[in-house]
Chains A and B, each alone.
Chain A
Amino acid sequence: MGRDAARGAVLAVYEGVVQDLIDELGRLPNIGPKSAQRIAFHLLQADPVDVRRLADVLVRVKETVRFCELCGNVASAARCRVCLDPRRDPTVLCVVEESKDVVAIERTREFRGRYHVLGGAISPIDGVGPDDLRIRELMTRLADGSVTELILATDPNLEGEATATYLARLVKPLTADGALRITRLASGLPVGGDLEYADEVTLGRAFEGRRSLDV
């Protein structure tokens, strides 16, 4: 209640274009009314050249950046860099929630297959169902049988797990003749960490996913 009151107080103070700017900034993720106000006043006092450059890049990013028609990753052409790269293995497909997950996996330089970006995770609270994600496109990509392993790399939270379960059930008929393998990223202990600092859920998962040690 206190927060709404604070928001109301901020809203009531300014008028016209300054208020429009604060409202627009406040719509951005993780920006509350106080931060929006601070950024707005920073922009008002900034050099016009700097503000123009920011405005230009905002317009340009919307005009030029597109989503890859194949995998849904951000791209500057019809297809993204990964999908255009002939050295990438087309038989392994890694399903992630967002483009930023592609960046995270690319940083490892471990994965040489291709991606499929869903655009989120199933979450009825937020009104996101399977039809709002790029699942139909995924099924189309799997239809020709060239993919032999599907890695489900959605987030290890409830919504990510639910999405992975949903996909696994949907794709299961394609695995009947052994032509497709479905895998899920392992979750467990962080590398370089101490066992005693792991929380119980993580430690429990690590026990579940324990494997034999070959020597």
Chain B
Amino acid sequence: MRLSHLSLVDFRSYAGLELALEAGVGVLVGPNGQGKTNVIEAIGYLANQGSHRVAQDAPLVRAGAERAVVRGAVRHEDRTAMIELEINPGRSNRARLNRAPVNRPRDVLGYLRTVLFAPEDLALVKGDPAERRRFLDELLVARAPRYAGVRADYERALKQRNALLKSASMMRRAARGGQVPDLSTLDVWDAHLAKAGAHLLAARLELLRALSPLADKAYGTIAGHPGAMLEYRPSCPLDPHVRDGGDTVGVAPAPDPMGRGRRREVDELEAALAVALSRSRAEEVERGVTLVGPHRDDVLFAIDHGGGALPAKTYASHGESWSFALAVKLASYDLLRSDGIEPVLLLDDVFAELDTARRTHLAAVAASAEQVLITAAVDADVPPELDGVRYRVAKGSVTRGDTVT
């Protein structure tokens, strides 16, 4: 797929932008602070409905404006879809598909798929668990948009349960532990949280099983030796044979037209979550917050040089951390590609961060993409094998320059 047109209204530094884009390589060139990354961020927002730079939407809207609009024409095979997002900070966004309003913004997820490489990727290895959860969940939604609904259900149930726990814990404190607060509805929220959580968890585990070997392969190519491992670290014990997941190798899968095997995994995870919630209940009531579940899980990034796996967060050098982050992103690109739809590749200021070997590898992948958009301060930052259209970015405007061959 490719993005054939992008238009912005009051997005970041752009009062208005109309930009026609072509297949192949496109490079946004311009000095720092002119708005190159804003274009990449807007395209990423169109695909994921979230920014890779900020958690809140308010900074995305140009100072003084009330809302921002991002519109894109996505070409896949011989069809074009027009997606439009109206970003309303503090209120719900609105979306249109082919000019017709849709019920919920998440209904337009999946029409544009992107994989973004940015300096912020280092946080996948070095940052908090929240970074890794967000990466997994975004990839999950990119592959199957229905998981946006599953995530929303889980977050809603979590919010309700936390509200109940918080009021219970405040009552307890007010009564100095004497009076037992009314927790008759907690069982109900536990059940709903476990159900939504199990769906999310099953999907994350399945995703990681597909992603992990691809990340190891990519790491081997970039770093020169294999040994990258991704391992799900749940906040509570899951059923043992679910956690090992991979040891069904060699067993021919039975015909499963209604997805009963998958259903069984979800049921087992639901039971495991329900047990974990009941075990941690006393502490949760004390602290007024939900302590177990997918919102507290992590993914361990580990490197094994032959002497046993070590956590990359604490043991990897800066260069190894970059290789790891790059490998995970490349794996997600491979995975989306293997589903049959070429994602749009976005490279935001990454070449300056990488050494020659990593640059060469990433450039080779980028050269093979159906469409790749790259930002660079000067032309010299872009590896020579990436010929293509140059766009000059200056003071919130973008003009098409020459095609470099």
B-binding residues in A (CB < 8 A): 1-3, 122-125, 127, 129-131, 158-159, 161-162, 165-166, 169, 199-201, 207
Contact = CB atoms under 8 A, between A and B. Distances in A.
Q: For chain B, give the interface size range.
A: 20 to 34
A1 B61 CA distance: 12
A207 B146 CA distance: 16
A122 B188 contact: yes
Contacts of A207: 258
Contacts of B66: 2
Nearest to B165: A124
A166 B185 contact: yes
Interface in B80-98: 89-91
B42 interface: no
B11 to A, nearest CB: 15
Given A161-B192, A162-B189, 17 more contacts: A1-B89, A1-B90, A2-B90, A123-B160, A124-B161, A124-B164, A124-B189, A130-B182, A130-B185, A158-B192, A159-B160, A162-B192, A165-B188, A166-B188, A199-B149, A200-B149, A201-B146
Nearest to A6: B66
Contacts of B157: 158
Interface string B141-158: 000001001000100110
Contacts of B241: none
Contacts, number: 56
B356 interface: no
Contacts of B192: 158, 161-162, 165
Contacts of B275: none
A207 B257 CA distance: 13
Nearest to B258: A207
15 contacts: A2-B89, A3-B91, A124-B167, A125-B160, A130-B184, A131-B182, A158-B192, A159-B160, A161-B192, A162-B188, A165-B188, A165-B192, A166-B185, A199-B149, A201-B146
Contacts of A124: 160-161, 163-164, 167, 185, 189
Contacts of B58: 1
Nearest to B61: A2
Contacts of B164: 124
Nearest to A159: B160
B262 interface: no
Provide the main secondary structure of the chain A interface: helix
B159 interface: yes
A27 B255 CA distance: 58
A8 B66 CA distance: 15
A93 to B, nearest CB: 21
Given A123-B160, A124-B160, A201 B191 contact: no
A131 B159 CA distance: 20
Contacts of B182: 129-131
Contacts of B379: none
Interface of B: 58, 66, 89-91, 107, 146, 149, 153, 156-157, 159-161, 163-164, 167, 182, 184-185, 187-189, 191-192, 258
Contacts of A129: 182, 185
A162 B187 CA distance: 10
Contacts of A130: 182, 184-185
B206 to A, nearest CB: 16
Contacts of B146: 199-201
B167 to A, nearest CB: 7
A131 B187 CA distance: 16
B202 to A, nearest CB: 14
A125 B191 CA distance: 17
Nearest to B157: A158
Nearest to B150: A201
Contacts of B189: 124, 162
A125 B164 CA distance: 7
Question: Which 8 pairs from chain A and chain B are nearest by CB?
Answer: A124-B163, A200-B146, A124-B164, A125-B163, A166-B188, A165-B188, A162-B188, A158-B156
B67 to A, nearest CB: 9
B163 A201 contact: no
Nearest to B147: A200
B149 A201 contact: yes
Contacts of B187: 169
Nearest to A163: B188
A158 B188 contact: no
A165 B90 CA distance: 32
A123 B149 CA distance: 20
Nearest to A123: B160
A3 B157 CA distance: 27
B163 A169 contact: no
B90 A3 contact: yes
B153 A158 contact: yes
A215 B274 CA distance: 41
Contacts of A200: 146, 149
A207 B259 CA distance: 12
A165 B91 contact: no
A100 B157 CA distance: 25
